[in-house]
Amino acid sequence: MKKLYICAMEKEAEGIIKKFKMQKVNENTYKNENETMLIAGIGKQKTAISLTKYLAENEKPDIAVNIGYAGSTNIEIGTWVNVTKSYNYEWEIPGEEKYSMKDVGNQNLVEINTYENSKSTVLDKENIVVRKAPCYSAESFVTKTDIKETVVFDMELHSIAIICDMYKIPLLALKMISDNLSMDKYYENIEKKEIKNLETCLEIININ
C-alpha cells in the first residue's frame, strides 16, 4: 500500500521521516518504497497548492495520513485526536450553513485504547490515549472561539480533506494537542518530549 503522510512543518515530520528511513527527493518531499512525506506548508492555501501539485506530478497514493499539532478547546495537552469531521472555520455566509464540512473517514484504522473522558496521557505502545473530535481549520492561530463543544483547531486539514475527496483518496487525520488556545503554551509545549515526538502516532495506526 502506498501511503502519503502530510505534515505542515518539517519539525512535525522529522521523526516519521527518520522512522521510515525516507530519503529527501526535493525541498518538501521525502520517500521510500511505500511511504512518502509531503511537507505541505502552514495554512489552508499553501497546503492546497502543495498537495494539488504533488498529486498532479506523482502516482495517487492508496491513503493519505495527515499528522500534526493542534489546539483544542478543552482536550488535555499531550492527547492524540482521531479527527472525525473537518470544518472550514472562516466559512460564514448569511443564509448558508455557518461552517462547510467534510467527513474524515477510516476511523477503524486507529487502535483506540481509551477515549472521550479519559484524563490519562500515557504515551507508550500499550496505552496511547486517543480521542475522537471534529477539527476546525483556520487561516491563523486560534486563541479564542465561541464554539463551546470539544473541538480541535489546525490550519491545514480542511484543504486536505477537500482535495482527498476530489481525488477519491482515503484520509486519516491524527492531531497531537499542543495547547488549549494559547500561542505561548504552544511554543512551550512542543519542546516537551511527549508532545514533540509525533512518530508515537505510528504505534496506533493500523495500515497494511
Taking only the tens place, the pLDDT of each residue in 154-202 is 999 999 999 999 999 999 999 999 999 999 999 999 999 889 999 998 8
- Which 3 state secondary structure label does DSSP give 156? coil
Task: Give pLDDT, residue 108.
Answer: 63
Is 144 inside a domain boundary? yes
What are the distances in angstroms from CA 100 to CA 37, 78, 82, 174, 202?
A: 27, 28, 19, 20, 30
Task: Give pLDDT, residue 127.
Answer: 60
Is 128 inside a domain boundary? yes
Is 187 inside a domain boundary? yes
Q: Give the count of domains, the chain.
A: 1
Is 110 inside a domain boundary? yes
Interatomic CA distance for residues 41 and 6, integer angstroms: 9
Taking only the tens place, the pLDDT of each residue in 124-161 is 445 677 889 999 999 999 999 999 999 999 999 999 99
Task: Give pLDDT, residue 82.
Answer: 92
Residue 34 and residue 1 in contact, taking contact as beta carbons nearer than 8 Å: yes
Is 20 inside a domain boundary? yes
Answer positive or negative: Cα dihedral of 32, 42, 59, 104: positive
Residue 178 and residue 106 in contact, taking contact as beta carbons nearer than 8 Å: no
Taking only the tens place, the pLDDT of each residue in 53-110 is 999 999 999 999 999 999 999 999 999 999 999 999 977 766 666 567 777 866 566 7
What string of DSSP letters covers 109-152? GB--SS-TT------STTT--EEEEEEEE-SS-----S--SS-E
Task: Give pLDDT, residue 79.
Answer: 92
Query: Where residue 67 sits, what CATH number does that domain have?
Result: 3.40.50.1580
Is 208 inside a domain boundary? no
What is the domain range of residue 175?
3-203
Within 10 Å of residue 187's Cβ, how many Cβ atoms? 11
Is 34 inside a domain boundary? yes
Is 129 inside a domain boundary? yes
